[in-house]
Amino acid sequence: MQALGRIIASGRPKFSAALLLCAFMLGAMLLFDATRPGAAVPGAPRIPHFDKVAHFAAHFLLASLLCWALLLARPASIAMPKAAWLAALATLVIDLLLGAGVEWTQATLGQTHGRRAEAGDLAANALGALAACAAFLCMARSAFAAYIKHHEGPPGT
C-alpha cells in the first residue's frame, strides 16, 4: 500500500493520461455496442438477467479507471482527501451520464437491431459505478495513510 500511496502523493500525469485513454476507449466501446444487435455472450451461464452482471462489471471497470485517472491528474493545490472525494464525485457524474447515454442510444438507434433501454440496466450501471467509487475511496485512503505514516516517522525524529 505504501507504493500506491507514493504514486498518489506524487501524481503521475502520463499514467493518468493512459488510464483516461483506457476509460475513453471503454466508454466508446459501450456506446458502439449499444447500436449493434444484441447477442448472447458465448460461454456465459444461462442465468436470467445475466446482462445486468455484465453492465455492473463494465461500469465498475470504467469508474475504477476514471477515479484513479482523475486522482492522479489532480492539481498539487488540492489536498489528497478532498481530491479523492472530488474524483469519485466526478466519476459518478460522468459514468451515470454515459450509462444514460448508452440506454438512450439503445432506445433510439438500437431499436433497429432489437435493442431496447431498460431501467434495470441503468440501475446496474449506477451500482457498478457506486461500488467502484466506494472501493476507490477505501483504497486511496488506506494507501495514502500508509504513505504518510511511513514518511512522517516516529515523533521527534
pLDDT tens per residue, range 3-39: 655 555 565 777 778 888 889 998 888 888 777 666 6
Residue 88, pLDDT above cutoff 80: yes
Instruction: Give a yes or no: residue 77 inside a domain.
Output: yes
Q: What percent of the chain has pLDDT over 90?
A: 32
Residue 38 confidence (pLDDT): 62
Residue 40, pLDDT above cutoff 70: no
Residue 51 confidence (pLDDT): 80
Residue 65 confidence (pLDDT): 94
**Burial letters for 79-101: b for 16+ Cβ neighbours within 10 Å, e otherwise?**
ebeebbeebbeebbebbbebbee
Instruction: Give a yes or no: residue 96 inside a domain.
Output: yes
Number of domains in the chain: 1
Contact 32, 98 (CB under 8 A): no
Instruction: Give a yes or no: residue 104 inside a domain.
Output: yes
Range of the domain at 21: 2-35+51-152
* pTM of structure: 0.78
Instruction: Give a yes or no: residue 45 inside a domain.
Output: no
In whole angstroms, give the CA distance from residue 32 to residue 115.
13
